[in-house]
Amino acid sequence: MKLGIFVSHFRFNTDTYERLKAERLGVIFVQNGIYHATLRENGKSSPLLEKPAKFYVLKDDLETHGFTNSQVDSRVKVITYNDLVDVIFNEYEKLAWL
């Protein structure tokens, strides 16, 4: 299964995320979830970025929170709303919101 998940919170219980198994996993950071793509705590990036997956962050949400593309972890691709539609319809069979 090709699964895309939206992450909209910075602090949340990762139990469900850790149990996800998919042929292809995509993680789309939106709203306050964008902090996973930008912030480092104690010199470490978000543990969510350690799982084998493709990572995306919504550019509009980055800008709303005062971040630029250069502040995004190199494992995360910055996308627009148009790109998001392509990702949803072309990359993943199922979507979930965590």
One-letter amino acid for residue 84 of the chain:
L
- Per-residue pLDDT tens over the stretch 44-65: 888 889 889 999 999 999 999 9
Domains and CATH numbers, the chain: 2-97 (3.40.1260.10)
Q: Is the pLDDT of residue 14 over 80?
A: no
Whole-model pTM: value is 0.90
Question: What pLDDT shows up at residue 87?
Answer: 93
Cα(94)–Cα(98) distance, rounded to whole angstroms? 13
Mean pLDDT, rounded, for 78-90: 95
Cα(36)–Cα(48) distance, rounded to whole angstroms? 7
